[in-house]
Structure 1
Amino acid sequence: MRRPASRRCRISAHRTAQPDDTMDADTLRLILFLAGIALILGIYLWDRRKRAGLRIHAVRREKRVEPVVPEAADASEEEEETVAGGPPLPQHEPVWRREPVAAADTEPAVRPRRGRGEPEEEVEEALRQLTELVQEEAPEKAPKEEQIAFQFDQPESGKEEPAGVELPRKILQLNVRVRRGGLVTGPRILAAAESCGLVPGEMQIFHHYSGGSRQPLFSMASLVEPGVFPFDDMDAFTTPGVTLFAQLPGPLEAMETFDRMLEAARKLASALDGEIQDETHSDLSRQTIEHIREEIREYGRQLRLARSRR
């Protein structure tokens, strides 16, 4: 028995539509799979960004931590007074009159504290500050050309200074350099030194004395280290110049010492065809001379203040 034509058409249409339904289901599953991956990736990126923000906040908070601990400084000061011996010093006692304490027995009051996770820049800054502190406490060194290591005798004055009084010290220095980078020979130096009252003496350098004092008023050394003169063989000796220096306090007043040393420097410059320079190797102008005189006046005030506290 034959089926109606209309029924055969409906069956054929139903069978034809099944592949389209299967394709739509696969597409839906693929979309859901991709959406799940995107969701997981979004959660991962959000969590990672949150952790990075927490690390940045922790670093910024640690940067605000002050490395100075007042309690440590107070403890260091108490330890320093204990090592020095004796009862604690009065609060009005000047700091410069404290008894010296051995460097090995004391520790700096402020130490760079290196915490966990501290940025490298903060460590370098702490090291730089410590280096500057050491450089401030260490004596200044002259340029290599003039690193002359001499030991000065204790200053002789008209009256002896009482024991326990440490007077401020100051070094006056003037250089005489041969013009146009030339050299001066030993015989010319001997003749010029004699005209200025400079005589060969201890430490193989020249000295200028005042009156019957055993302490030189000022001295003269070679401009090139170690600064000594070969008095036994001056004929073969050459140098680009000489340097005059004096230690204060000395046999005479500081200003008179400088005036005499300046006069000798001018005579030497004329005899050696040189030019006078200050301790920084700059030309000695009138303004520079006045500046040195002002420093000497200030030194005189400090010296009088120190002597009044004996």
Structure 2
Amino acid sequence: MAEELRLVLIVISVLVIGGLLVHGLWSVRKKDNPEAAPAERVEPMQDTPSHTPIEPKEPVIAQRDEPQFGELNFDSNEPQIDTSTAQTPIEDDLQVVQEDEVQPESEEDAPAEVSDFVIVHIQMPEGLTMQGSKLLPAVNTLGFKYSEEGFFNRHIDPAGQGPVLFRLVNMYNPGTFDIDNMEQFSTAGVSLFMTLPCEGDGLAAFNMLHSAAKKIADEFGAQLLDAEREEMTVERVRQYVEQVRAFSA
């Protein structure tokens, strides 16, 4: 049995070796004679891009420049205050207001009417402002009524009827108030002024004006100034009184 198994293995080995020899000879002959190769050949691709593998590139991320602090433009929704000194005296501005309200029928025939103004400024300390949300109830309590011109008027009648005794205006440009946006409004000062001669008792009207100015100043911690924007003194108040009396005679 062992002899038969050995014989079978020898025969199988001979067959395998012979097959390898035949395959090797055939491969060598095929290589030396390319015409014997199959007719089907793959032609090179024409007009095609190179098949060189393309290395993937990392995406380029554009860097966003962060705004510098000095370049920030803050929102202008808040009201701006013109703190520059007015080149035109406020008396001249008030004169324009007065002339716009009353025009004589005939400038040639109408006699020249002498008039004057009493002005009291209420100036906030440097860096501070009056907030409109606080200013509006304060002036309403003092009997002022908002006018179409954008000022607050104090009439003879506290209900807002009758002639105007004196007015409250914004101390800075444009001089008016926006009643619909008082919550966002702020200013560094306001001014009270009355025109001379005035309707009714001039001295009583001046006393009301001076009293209202002191109450507003106390409410906001502001300072009273005269027409020249100097500190209001007792002597200056007396001069105002004499000025009013001169037009009441």
Which TM-score applies when normalising by structure 1?
A: 0.45
| 1:254 pairs with 2:205 | no
Q: Tell me the equivalent position of 1:150.
A: 97
Q: CA deviation at 1:180?
A: 3.6
Partner of 2:176, secondary structure, is coil
| 1:231 pairs with 2:187 | no
Q: CA deviation at 1:166?
A: 3.9
Say if 1:183 and 1:173 are closer, same or farther in 2 by CA, change over 3 A. Answer: same
Q: Tell me the equivalent position of 1:193.
A: 139
Q: Tell me the equivalent position of 1:205.
A: 151
Aligned residue identity for 1:209: H
Q: CA deviation at 1:181?
A: 4.0
Supply the distance in 1 between the matched residues of 2:162 and 2:141 (Cα, whole angstroms).
Answer: 20
Greater C-alpha radius of gyration: 2
Number of positions where the alignment pairs a residue of Structure 1 with one of Structure 2: 154
CA shift digits 1:143-199 (9 cap, x unpaired):
69x9565346349xxxxxxx8444321111111111244111111110110121112
| 1:174 pairs with 2:135 | no
Structure 1: which 5+ runs fail to align? 1-139, 156-162, 302-310
Q: Tell me the equivalent position of 1:66.
A: none
Aligned residue identity for 1:194: N
Supply the distance in 2 between the matched residues of 1:229 and 1:216 (Cα, whole angstroms).
Answer: 18
CA shift digits 1:58-83 (9 cap, x unpaired):
xxxxxxxxxxxxxxxxxxxxxxxxxx
Q: Quick check: 2:130–2:188 contact (8 Å CA) kept in 1?
A: yes
Which structure dedicates a bigger proportion of its chain to helix? 1
Supply the distance in 1 between the matched residues of 2:154 and 2:203 (Cα, whole angstroms).
Answer: 16
Q: CA deviation at 1:213?
A: 4.9
Aligned residue identity for 2:198: G
Q: Tell me the equivalent position of 2:193.
A: 245
Aligned residue identity for 2:194: A
Q: Tell me the equivalent position of 1:216.
A: 164
Aligned residue identity for 1:204: G
| 1:267 pairs with 2:219 | no
Aligned residue identity for 1:170: D
Which TM-score applies when normalising by structure 2?
A: 0.55
Q: Quick check: 1:175–1:242 contact (8 Å CA) kept in 2?
A: yes
Q: Quick check: 2:196–2:244 contact (8 Å CA) kept in 1?
A: no
Partner of 2:168, secondary structure, is strand
Q: Quick check: 2:197–2:248 contact (8 Å CA) kept in 1?
A: no
Say if 1:294 and 1:171 are closer, same or farther in 2 by CA, change over 3 A. Answer: same
Q: Tell me the equivalent position of 1:288.
A: 236
Q: Does 213-222 or 238-247 show the bigger shift?
A: 213-222
Q: Tell me the equivalent position of 1:300.
A: 248
Supply the distance in 1 between the matched residues of 2:165 and 2:246 (Cα, whole angstroms).
Answer: 20
Structure 2: which 5+ runs fail to align? 1-86, 104-108
CA shift digits 1:240-266 (9 cap, x unpaired):
010001112222222222111001101
Partner of 1:168, secondary structure, is coil
Q: Percent identity?
A: 21
Supply the distance in 1 between the matched residues of 2:183 and 2:137 (Cα, whole angstroms).
Answer: 12
Q: Quick check: 1:196–1:268 contact (8 Å CA) kept in 2?
A: no
Aligned residue identity for 1:294: E
Aligned residue identity for 2:137: A
